[in-house]
Structure 1
Amino acid sequence: MSIVGNSGYRVLIYSHDTFGLGHLRRCRTIAHALVSRRDDVSVLILSGSPIIGSFEFRSRVDFVRIPGVIKLSNGEYTSLNLNIDVDQILEMRESIIKHTADVFNPDIFIVDKEPLGLRGEVESTLRMLRHRRTRLVMGLRDVMDDPVHLREEWDRKQCVPALAELYDEIWVYGLQEICNPLEGIDLPPGVENKMAYTGYLPRTATQRPTPEHGALGLEEPYYLVTTGGGGDGVNLVDWVISAYEADETIAVPSLVVLGPFMAPAEQKSFMERAEKIDKLSVITFDANVEMLMHNSAGVIAMGGYNTFCEILSFDKPAVIVPRTVPRLEQYVRASAAEKLGLVKMLTEDKGRDPRQMADALHGLISQPKPSHVTVPNLMGGLDRVGDLVDRWLPPQMAAE
């Protein structure tokens, strides 16, 4: 079969990716689902992730890597690798984004999380494509932040007018029963009508074991400890290792994935501590972390969006230790999920008592799986996204 008329439909996805892996992995999941569903769609991802090249992409999915930036503790941005002024970096990024969109000429443009992009870098592209009548979609995870902080941030960035003026639809990759990501935002008339809740985005595990896996000796049941990108995962890893140091009776070993963005000094320290404990294995990064989770007996994680989707997809009992700085996103999600009985949550309110984590590790092996709770359309996100795309992109004529 060959498509007649043109080279097929084109979907462009923007992922600003200043830090971590969450945005990139979500966009990649959506891209793969779209090309798997339809053979007349190609997807191009715009990303600032420095490790996007470490991931595999399916046929008809590709990426453009824009210069990376990183957010400092004071809220300012700086270049990730280049020794040039951040304003120049942002100017370059905006130019690359707009030129790519101009040439690629997408039928649909999906912007992940930031309505105007990093420091407004996508606004000119949005206006150009709107003039061409490209369908413009704002994609939001289930939880953005607590309402007070989100309102302050979006007022400062002038995001709300963009939802009314520029976007055709707002896709929320979650369920309204769990969270409304725009709760507390004073939305202009008509914006709420643009919102479509898709359900969570299911994940699959690729049967692609690496030599490193075999060297870890993971045949026996193990827990997966994952920090996502790892840049803010130090407390979680320290707590888990401290539990094994304090309690030699924890029966199930753990595989700790530190994350590629954890500081090298922290990585080295954790690896040295773990070498003294038979029941701990530590690796820095695995682009196929879904397979590690699929094979695990349970998960200890911070509870970012992608990890939460994987826990539900692979039906793993989980202990979530959410971060609360600089956002409450993970805490809001974990609290709602715990109330539904999907996961258990530990917080650092009273410090990181090794005995508390040890108790959680003892109990995780017998903790009920998420599937013991019935939540309608919980994992219907990719099918719903496909349906939303189909409404705008009618099947093209095909011939032998």
Structure 2
Amino acid sequence: MDSNLDVLIYAHDGRGLGHVSRSVGIGLALRRLYPDLSVLLITGCAATAELIGDGPLDWIKLPSYKTNVTAGKSSGVKGNSNIDDNMLGELRAQNIRDIIAAYKPKVFLADHTPQGKHKELLPSHEVSPETVRVLGIRAVVGEVGKVWSDFSSEVFSGTYSNILWYGDSSVAGAGELERLSTHYGVKPYEAGYVSRLSELCFLNNGSEEGSILAGVISVPWAGEGTSVLLDKLAQALGGIDKSHGDWKFYMNLRDNEAAAAIHNFNGLEHVSFEQVGPQFLGDLRNSRSAVIYGGYNSLTDVMVCAVPSIVLLRGMKDGEQEDHAAVLAERSSAIQNVFSDQTVADEELRESLLKCLEVDVNESSINLNGAENAARYLAELAGGRSADR
């Protein structure tokens, strides 16, 4: 095959950072284990460079999608390019097709759905027929129609040959694997949970020196009720004695709604705010507690770092976060409490944080080596040599 690229990774984007973070983790693992392989990531997520940090992973920025969430249901709106959501899908489809036609990757890894967001991967299936196309699926999908539709299985059977499953069947049983196998007609490869933070640790040999924090709180994207939740967190932290230490928020400070809510914390000198970025790793590893949203990426972060945590749920219609958090809470003591972000009370937050500050996380048997396992699988498909140790 006349290829100019070994592995091309496509990351779904639009709302949270979970899809892109998994893709970055796998890309970083490929570059670490197989430094001679050429690897490229394409996505519209504006935070990608911050997620990669100093890692040796290059990427192509597509115009970003933007998604609003109302009553647990997401809908596309104009992004920073101010191009209509559907038109942007058509334009990005042309971009992606041109990239694949030019680079002719040996292996193409698509995140989440075989058709891509707004079916933007479909035109690219017509070019570079020798490319091995792989679909990557998170541990618990939830009731996402675009994943479980007849159309997705038809697209997969016509162009894809492999599935990477980023989960651990010893945690949730084999039900999700069996459902994927039945729907797509192939047996997925069970990679384990993918952690971008695990890969970033290799950049500094696992050393993360820094001050010990009472806790970190991650609210990576603003949505319905974010300002109300921040007010509750301000009340909760205001009721915790300063002697426990400092607290640090990680948010998208470029979001007007998030930035406007920071005034709730005026007078709380032990609370500070940071832009979402790779420095979150060091702070999480040096924290005695955490408050996170129940996305795949955040749940994996706290399990890898063994930090006792409060998990918040946004109440999305697909039910993925509820199902996943419930399953993991039974197996990992990193997940101390799970609350709805709409109904949790400030007193519940305060009491739970105080509990987190007093407990230790037991060693988990959950497979958290998904990035490395996925990288080895993709490298083998690309004809890569044995991984560097």
The answer to whether structure 1 residue 35 and structure 2 residue 11 are counterparts is no
The verdict on how the C-alpha distance between 1:86 and 1:228 changes in structure 2, with shifts beyond 3 A counting, is closer
Write out aligned runs for 1:132-211 (5 A).
133-145=130-142, 149-150=143-144, 152-154=145-147, 158-179=151-172, 180-181=175-176, 187-188=182-183, 190-191=185-186, 193=187, 195-202=188-195, 203=198, 204-205=200-201
1:52 offset after TM fit, Å? 2.8
Is 2:220 aligned against 1:228?
Answer: yes
Please give the root-mean-square deviation of Cα atoms over the aligned residues, in Å: 3.2
Any idea what SS the aligned residue of 1:357 has? helix
Match of 2:48 among 49, 52, 55: 52
Q: Distance in 2 between matches of 1:165 and 1:62?
A: 29
Distance 1:256 1:189 in 2: 40
**Is 1:323 equivalent to 2:314 in the alignment?**
yes
Shift in Å, 1:29: 1.1
Equivalent position to 1:240, from 233, 255, 259: 233
* Correspondence for 1:259 among 252, 261, 265: 252
Farther-moved stretch of structure 1 (76-85 vs 116-125): 76-85
Alignment of 1:230-379 (within 5 A): 230-231=222-223, 234=227, 236-248=229-241, 251-260=244-253, 263-270=255-262, 272-342=263-333, 343-348=335-340, 351-371=343-363, 373-375=364-366, 378-379=367-368
* Residue pair 1:228, 1:304 contacting (<8 A) in 2 also: no
Does the C-alpha gap of structure 1 residues 153 and 183 become closer, same or farther in structure 2, counting only changes over 3 Å?
Answer: farther
The 1-side partners of 2:64 and 2:89 are apart by 9
Greater relative contact order (CA < 8 Å, ≥ 6 in sequence): 2
Question: Which has more radius of gyration?
Answer: 1
Residue 211 of structure 1 aligns with which residue?
none
Q: CA deviation at 1:231?
A: 4.4
Match of 1:90 in 2: 89
Structure 1 pair 8–37 and aligned structure 2 pair: CA distance change class (3 A): farther
Q: Go from structure 1 to structure 2 and tell me whether the alpha carbon gap of 1:294 and 1:64 turns closer, same or farther (over 3 Å shift).
A: same
Question: 3-state DSSP class of the match of 2:244?
Answer: coil
Distance in 2, Cα, partners of 1:162 & 1:30: 24
Distance in 1 of aligned mates of 2:302 and 2:180: 30
Is this contact kept in 2: 1:18–1:70, CA < 8 A? Answer: yes
Aligned AA for 2:377?
A: L
Match of 1:26 in 2: 22
Task: Report the residue type matching 2:48 in the other structure.
Answer: I
Q: Is the counterpart of residue 386 in structure 1 residue 386 in structure 2?
A: no
| TM-aligned CA deviation for residue 118 of structure 1 | 1.0
* Distance of 2:358 and 2:252 partners within structure 1: 27
Q: State the AA in 2 paired with 1:393.
A: A
* Residue of structure 1 equivalent to 2:64: 68
Identical counterparts, % of pairs: 19
Structure 2's unaligned 5+ residue stretches are none
What is the TM-score of this pair, normalised by structure 2?
0.84
In 2, the alpha carbon distance for the partners of 1:68 and 1:200 equals 26
SS of the residue corresponding to residue 283 of structure 1 reads strand
Say if 1:236 and 1:303 are closer, same or farther in 2 by CA, change over 3 A: farther
- Using structure 1 for the length normalisation, give the TM-score: 0.82
- How far has the Cα of 1:117 moved from its partner? 0.5
1:337-386, CA deviations, whole angstroms, 9 ceiling, x for partnerless residues?
11114312232399222221111111112223141x434xx112123213
CA distance in 1, matches of 2:156, 2:243: 50
**C-alpha displacement at 1:278, in angstroms?**
3.0
> Which one is further off, 89-98 or 43-52?
43-52
- Please give the per-residue CA displacement for 1:259-279, whole angstroms capped at 9, x wherever unaligned: 346x42442222x22121233
Shift of the alpha carbon at 1:291? 1.6
Letter in 2 for 1:290: L
The count of aligned residue pairs is 372
Contact preservation (8 Å) 2:30, 2:372? no
Counterpart for residue 118 of structure 1: 117
Report the secondary structure of 2:269's partner residue.
coil
Report the secondary structure of 2:185's partner residue. coil
The Cα of 1:77 is off from its aligned counterpart by: 2.3
Which AA in structure 1 matches 2:133?
L
Letter in 1 for 2:289: G
Query: What amino acid does structure 2 have at the position aligned with 1:187?
Result: T
Query: CA offsets, 1:91-110, max 9 Å, x none?
Result: 21001000001111101000
